[in-house]
Amino acid sequence: MKSFPYAFAGVAELLRSQHNARIHLLATILVIAAGLWLGISAQQWALLFIACAMVWCVEALNTAIEFLADALTTEPHPLIKKAKDVAAAAVLIAAVFSLAIGVMVFLPYF
């Protein structure tokens, strides 16, 4: 129970400091609203929740890597650049596959 305040502080920092996290929040809200409006099945909800959770988790890890890298040095370093680029790629991969899941769930309704 003592770790919950730290986790909530992390979510708050993620939303406060990361523009992309705010975009993910909007997308999550829109996905939930669309699911409620369309009355999707439990299995479809499960797919969407997994997709949203995947994007949120990878975005949080990407942000943590960026914060740690920035704490190490303010000087450009090729390995830090590679680490940040790969972490950003992970977010992109998660977002693209989540979009694909969203299309598969919602397309039949339109």
What digits encode the pLDDT tens for the residues 74-109? 899 999 999 999 999 999 999 999 999 999 999 999
Domain residue limits at 79: 4-109
Q: Is 59 a catalytic residue?
A: yes
**Based on the structure, what is the number of domains in the chain?**
1
Please tell me which residue in 13, 59, 66, 75 is annotated as part of the active site: 59
pTM: 0.91
65: domain CATH number is 1.10.287.3610
Gyration radius (Cα) of the chain, Å: 16
Residue 14 CB neighbour total at 10 angstroms: 20
pLDDT for position 39: 97
Residue 75 CB neighbour total at 10 angstroms: 6
Q: What is the pLDDT of residues 7-65, one digit of tens each?
A: 999 999 999 999 999 999 999 999 999 999 999 999 999 999 999 999 999 999 999 99
